Structure formats: structure tokens, C-alpha cells
């Protein structure tokens, strides 16, 4: 299996499966001398961890990270940062029903066909448990990037959506409720919807919006490694993601150029920001904002028709502990992938000019 490394200078390689001994990673290329706040890393992990509230999977994992290398006396040393998070609350027997049967719309079938062998326990490598390692690295990248700020929040669950432009959102409000939606009234409607869907043994999708502030001009490498292209890749590499749009996105197609153009102020800032802070694949100094669409995840507690490894039609019902809606837990993952992209471009920018 290839494809376990992300980034070109600030690089993260992850390892591990859902029900193995541990998951973890190696961050290579992180510059020396960055002050690291370990509590901030743990705080981000706690925002992603299972069992954190009544609307997420009830798998109970403390998700405490052990850092093995690369940090000394509170600062990065420039050497590889190795880390691991133990898996402690596996219930592998909950997954024996998918040993020879494929959950519709999960990764079971393609892993089996591609590799001929599959660790089916908890979804193995295809489980979003892997994203905890991204959060560790992303949290370190965020600390490297300060004063750039990266904040994500839930802007939709099913058909309930926040009708407020990201530039007007108070992102800190989002962390005050378990859904992570900055509008508390809408958050409680979303919570009720998630609980209703869970009761029905079903799942529901949603949207995570991210806003990045204090960005310098010049991040992004045309032609192929445009800033929005790498952000898109980072986001689309997150489990269950089905869509990515930045700036005016798909709604921009309904505007005319005369409405869509961001007119300049004399200092180079723009009066509007339909471009989402990126032009020609390069940050222009305005806020970057984008939406990430998550599907209703595959494992439902209802009977569904599927096939087994003998290609026979069989009935299956989901078992085990699953998320009825992943967006509340996906918020720190989206921030982390954004941080990894920006950290990498920050280092690549150093080569741009003498
Ligand atoms: C935070 C998070 C939690 C997830 N939890 C579940 C889950 O409990 N059950 C499930 O079937 N899928 C879950 N997923 C999604 C699967 O990992 C994903 O759908 C699967 O690997 C197939 O990949 P794809 O949907 O990207 O094609 C979760 C995704 C994220 C981001």
C-alpha cells in the first residue's frame, strides 16, 4: 500500500489500523525551534475523539498521544517527530459479521479486491481512526503557522444549514455546543436531528466550513500545486468526504463577472472576497474559506441487502459503535489538513525568491 504520506517538505506519514495495537505517525521536515504546547495537541485530539458526546460513536478512547522524538525542552529539534496513540477500546467481535461480507458504500469490498487480504476489525486502515494522527500533526502545524488562525465549524447537518457567510461567523461560538455549529439555536435543532436519525438506526451527512485568517500573500505553487488544489486534495483525503468548494464555489456560477470580481483597495486587499483568498493558486492575503461535504456514513443499524466474498446476495445489519453523523468530529480534522497544507507551502515559499 502506498499513499500514506502527505506533503512535500512538511510531511506526515501515518500508520496503523483501527483495532491494531496503536496508530501513529512520523512528521518529517518540521523546522527546529518551534515552541510546542502539548496541551493544545491533546485539546485538538479531544475535539476529534470518539465518545466525547451523546451524538457521536460511543467507542471510548482516551486518545492520549505519546511523542517519541523530535521535541526537546518544549521545542522542536528539526528531527523527525514520531508519535503514537494506543488503541484501548477495541471490540473486534462486533465486526465478525463483516469478515466475509461487504458493507454497502464502505471500503470493505475495494480493500478486499485490491489487496486480497483485509483487516476487517473496525474497518482496519480504512477506519477514520487514522485521522487522529492527522490531528496530532495538524496541531503541531497550527503552532508553527501562528499567527495564522484556522477555524472550522459545522455549517450543515442534513437539510439544516447555517445561512451566514463565513466572514460573519463568530467561530469561537462553535466550540460551545456538541454539534460545533456557531448558531446555538440551529445547533440544538441539529442535535435533535442527529439523535432522531440515530434512533432510526440511520446516518446523516453534513458540511464543515473552514476559515483561515492572517494569511500572507504568496502561499501556493502554480501550476499543479495550486493552493486550492492542495487544500482540495487534503480535504478529499478525509474519510467520507464527497465535496470541496472554496470562495464563491458552485454558487459563483450563478453570478456575472461584474458582480463576482473582487475590486482592489489601494493596499492590495479587496472589497469583496468571492475568490476565497486565492487567485491563480496563490494566497492573496484575504481570508481563505471553504466548505467540505461529508456523506451520511455507510454503517447503518438497519437491514440492507449486500454481497459476501462468494458473491452471494446476503442480508446484513450494522453492528458495533458508529457515528450517526461525523461532522462534529470532523471539525478538527478539517483544520488539521488545512494546517498541513499551509505549513508545507510556508516552507516551499522560502525557495521562491532570493
Ligand atoms: C470522524 C469520522 C468518523 C467516522 N465514523 C464512521 C463510522 O462510525 N461508521 C462508518 O461506517 N463510517 C465512518 N466514517 C467514514 C468511513 O471511514 C468512510 O466512509 C469509509 O472509510 C469509506 O470511505 P469513503 O466514504 O471516503 O469512500 C467516519 C469518518 C470520519 C471522518
The answer to whether residue 309 sits within a structural domain is yes
- The domain of 218 spans 5-349
Residue 354 resides in a domain:
no
**Nearest residue CA, atom 19 of ligand 1?**
240
Length of the chain: 354
Q: Is the pLDDT of residue 93 over 80?
A: no
Rounded CA-CA distance 7/27 in Å is 10
Average the pLDDT over 248-266 and give the result.
98
- Distance from the CA of 125 to the center of ligand 1, in angstroms? 11
Residue with cell 492590495: 268
**Does residue 341 sit within a domain?**
yes
- Enclosing H/E stretch for 187: helix 184-199
Residue 71 lies in a domain: yes
pLDDT digits (tens, 9 = 90+) for 18-29: 999 999 999 999
Cα–Cα dist 15/326, whole Å: 22
pLDDT tens digits, residue range 116-153? Answer: 999 999 999 999 999 999 999 999 999 999 999 999 99
Pocket test for ligand 1, best of 49, 51, 53, 128 (most atoms within 8 A of CB): 128
H helix count then E strand count, the chain: 8, 16
Task: Determine the distance separating the centroid of ligand 1 and the alpha carbon of 28, expressed in angstroms.
Answer: 27
User: Cα(286)–Cα(219) distance, rounded to whole angstroms?
Assistant: 12
Farthest CA pair distance, the chain: 68
Total structural domains in the chain? 1
Determine whether the shortest distance from the Cβ of 57 to ligand 1 is under 6 A: yes
* Grid cell of 205 as nine digits: 451527512
Would the CB of 337 count as within 6 Å of ligand 1?
A: no
pLDDT in tens, 298-349: 999 999 999 999 999 999 988 888 999 999 999 999 999 999 999 999 999 9
pLDDT tens per residue across span 179-206: 999 999 999 999 999 999 999 999 999 9
Residue with cell 481512526: 129
Inside any domain, residue 332? yes
| CATH number, residue 202 | 3.60.150.10
Atom of ligand 1 nearest to the CA of 238: 31
Whether residue 72 is contained in a domain is answered as yes
pTM (whole model) above 0.85: yes
Q: Tell me which range, 52-61, 63-72, 90-99, 345-354, is most confidently predicted by mean pLDDT.
A: 63-72
Res. 275: pLDDT tops 80: yes
State how far the Cα of 166 lies from the Cα of 116, in Å rounded to an integer. 45
The grid coordinates of residue 220 equal 501556493
What is the residue with the minimal CA distance to atom 13 of ligand 1?
297
- Cβ–ligand 1 distance for 326 under 6 Å, the answer yes
Would you say 207 and 291 are in contact if contact means Cβ atoms under 8 Å apart? Answer: yes
Residue nearest to atom 31 of ligand 1 (CA): 239
Statement: residue 76 has pLDDT above 80: yes
Calculate mean pLDDT across residues 201-220.
98
**What is the 3-class SS of 272-312, one letter each residue?**
CCCCCCEECCEEECCCEEEEEEECCCCCCCCEEEEEECCCC
Mean of the per-residue pLDDT values of the chain = 96
**269 assigned to some structural domain:** yes
Q: Is the CB of 106 under 6 A from ligand 1?
A: yes
- 127 CA from centroid of ligand 1 (Å): 6
Look up cell 474519510; give the residue: 239
Share of the chain above pLDDT 90, in %: 94
Closest CA to 341 of 262, 227, 246: 227
Amino acid at each position: 500500500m502506498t499513499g500514506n504520506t502527505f506533503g512535500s517538505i512538511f510531511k506526515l506519514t501515518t500508520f496503523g489500523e483501527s483495532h491494531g495495537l496503536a496508530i501513529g505517525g512520523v512528521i518529517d521536515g518540521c523546522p527546529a525551534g518551534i515552541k510546542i504546547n502539548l496541551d493544545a495537541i491533546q485539546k485538538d485530539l479531544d475535539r476529534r475523539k470518539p465518545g466525547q458526546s451523546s451524538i457521536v460513536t460511543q467507542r471510548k478512547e482516551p486518545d492520549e498521544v505519546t511523542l517519541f522524538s523530535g521535541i526537546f525542552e518544549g521545542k522542536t529539534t528539526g528531527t523527525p517527530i514520531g508519535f503514537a496513540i494506543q488503541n484501548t477500546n477495541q471490540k473486534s467481535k462486533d465486526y465478525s459479521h463483516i469478515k466475509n461480507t461487504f458493507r454497502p458504500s464502505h471500503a470493505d469490498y475495494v480493500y478486499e479486491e485490491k489487496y486480497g487480504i483485509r483487516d476487517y476489525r473496525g474497518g482496519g486502515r480504512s477506519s477514520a481512526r487514522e485521522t487522529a494522527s492527522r490531528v496530532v500533526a495538524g496541531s503541531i502545524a497550527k503552532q508553527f503557522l501562528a499567527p495564522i488562525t484556522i477555524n472550522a465549524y459545522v455549517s450543515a447537518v442534513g437539510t439544516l444549514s447555517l445561512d451566514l457567510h463565513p466572514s460573519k461567523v463568530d467561530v469561537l461560538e462553535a466550540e460551545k455546543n456538541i454539534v460545533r455549529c456557531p448558531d446555538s439555536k440551529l445547533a440544538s435543532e441539529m442535535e435533535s436531528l442527529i439523535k432522531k436519525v440515530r434512533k432510526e438506526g440511520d446516518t446523516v451527512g453534513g458540511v464543515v466550513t473552514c476559515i483561515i485568517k492572517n494569511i500572507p500573500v504568496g502561499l501556493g505553487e502554480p501550476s499543479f500545486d495550486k493552493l486550492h488544489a492542495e487544500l482540495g486534495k487534503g480535504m478529499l483525503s478525509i474519510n467520507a468526504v464527497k465535496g470541496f468548494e472554496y470562495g464563491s464555489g458552485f454558487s459563483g456560477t450563478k453570478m456575472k463577472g461584474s458582480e463576482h470580481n473582487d475590486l482592489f483597495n489601494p493596499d492590495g486587499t479587496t472589497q469583496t472576497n468571492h475568490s476565497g483568498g486565492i487567485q491563480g493558486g496563490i494566497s492573496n492575503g484575504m481570508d481563505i474559506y471553504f466548505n467540505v461535504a461529508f456523506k451520511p456514513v455507510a454503517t447503518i443499524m438497519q437491514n440492507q441487502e449486500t454481497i459476501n466474498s462468494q458473491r452471494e446476495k446476503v442480508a446484513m445489519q450494522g453492528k458495533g459503535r458508529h457515528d450517526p453523523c461525523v461532522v462534529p468530529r470532523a471539525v478538527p480534522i478539517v483544520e488539521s489538513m488545512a494546517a498541513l497544507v499551509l505549513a508545507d507551502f510556508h516552507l516551499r515559499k522560502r525557495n521562491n525568491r532570493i
